[in-house]
Amino acid sequence: MLLATPEETDALGRRIAACLEPGDLVLLSGGLGAGKTHLARAIAHALGVPEDEPVTSPTFTLVQEYQGTASALVHADLYRLLDSAAGLDVEIARLGLRERRAEGAILLVEWGEDAATALGGEADLVVALAPRGETSREATLSGPRSERVRD
């Protein structure tokens, strides 16, 4: 689906949030600047994270946790771990992401395409973003929750 404006990306975030359940895993993929963090922010605010709470890329902190209305939201960025000498599975275990998911937190993971098993199984939703011009992006949805988001 084409997201021609930032507002359309926000609307997609609201639709995604409406379909999520505690313990869900959402993977956001796409190159640098594709809009992953923008979409993550829209999802977080739609899940009840206060609008005045900044939702930023966890590129350097690796993980940021927010409290939504119904559950915690754990936003992770695995970009810096992709070439880890210890291995991605070991790094994910160190971060406790699988445990947080098992406890009912929603995991929203950027750059996690190769990490679903280490994160506790298949993703409930995968959103692949690709820039299309200056402000537009193409979003491709897959996974068990994708049909509910499209409805």
- The pLDDT score that the predictor gives to residue 86 is 62
Q: Which helix H or strand E contains 44, and what residues bound it? A: helix 36-46
CA distances 75 to 16, 25, 98, 135, 144, Å, are 15, 10, 13, 24, 20
The rounded radius of gyration (Å) of the Cα atoms in the chain is 14
Domains detected in the chain = 2-150 (3.40.50.300)
**Residues 16, 150: Cα–Cα separation, whole Å:** 9
Please state, rounded to an integer, the average pLDDT across all residues of the chain: 90
Residue with the bigger pLDDT between 2 and 111: it is: 2
> The tokens of 131 are what?
């820039």
- The pLDDT score that the predictor gives to residue 58 is 85
Summarize pLDDT for 73-110 with one digit per residue, the tens.
999 998 877 766 567 788 888 899 999 999 999 999 99
Nearest Cα residue to 95 out of 57, 47, 61, 44:
61
Q: pTM of the prediction?
A: 0.91
Summarize pLDDT for 36-69 with one digit per residue, the tens.
999 999 999 999 999 989 898 887 789 999 998 8
Q: Strand pairing of 136-142 and 2-3?
A: antiparallel
